[in-house]
Amino acid sequence: MPKKLVAFVIVTLVTLALDQGSKAWAHTLPLSSPSCDTAQMVAQTCGGIPQPVVSGYWDWELAMNPGAAFSSFVGAGFARVALSLVAALAVVWICAVAWRSAAGERTKRVALALVAGGALGNLADRLHYGAVTDFVRWRINEHRWPIFNVADAALLVGAVLLVATTSSRRRMAPSPTEGAPLEA
């Protein structure tokens, strides 16, 4: 393995491990019914009981999300297969981009690794449960944001970091006409 990819692989695996470990813990959170199972949670006929972390602002609450990041696309019947395929193809593409990246593009590879680790974490859940385990609920009293997990957070941070590194690189790069002689 090329030396430049070591950090990419480590960040990807650590992100995946943190995501899967936190989801395993989330499955120990209390449920609304003792007979509540994964299929019922996916169908949203039962769910987790919110456990306040910071009262009125942050709860642990187990949910199974058949949609995409931050509970989007819920209810789309094709979601499991389509999202699994997209995630698998995205991880392959991300690995290719990391492989082709320049040695000095460490931040870009870390950002790609966060996205890859997040995508793999949610893909593992989707393949195992048919849905993604979510458990982080942020809210302000009764206003609730979409529930999410560590993989979703890694995807978001990685994407923002990618945009930031790409846009800062474009600002620093000289324009094609910069330094060119002026024509008369």
Does 181 fall in a domain?
A: no
As beta bridge partners, residue 144 has 139
Known catalytic residues are 134, 152
Domain ranges, residue 97: 3-169
| Contact predicate 109/7, CB 8 Å | yes
* Domains in the chain, number: 1
Q: Which two tokens stand for residue 114?
A: 């966060």
Identify the DSSP state of 136: E
Domain presence at residue 175: no
88-113 average pLDDT score: 96
pLDDT tens digit string along 74-96? 555 566 677 789 889 999 999 99
Q: Is 180 part of any domain?
A: no
Summarize pLDDT for 148-164 with one digit per residue, the tens.
999 999 999 999 999 99
Phi, psi angle pair for 62, to nearest 5°: -70, 130
CB count within 10 Å of CB 133 equals: 29
Q: Quick one: pLDDT at residue 141?
A: 84
Q: Give domain status of residue 177, yes or no.
A: no
Considering the domain boundaries, does residue 117 fall inside one? yes
Q: Could you give the angle at the alpha carbon of 70 between the alpha carbons of 68 and 72, nearest 5°?
A: 50
Q: Is 102 a domain residue?
A: yes
**Angular region, 136: left φ>0, alpha ψ -120 to 50, beta rest:** beta
Q: What percent of the chain has pLDDT over 70?
A: 83
For residue 59, what is the enclosing H or E element?
strand 58-65
pLDDT at 50: 95
Specify the pLDDT at position 56: 93
Residue 183 in domain: no
Residue with tokens 């602002």: 57
**What pTM value is reported for the model?**
0.84
Say yes or no to pLDDT of 33 above 70: yes
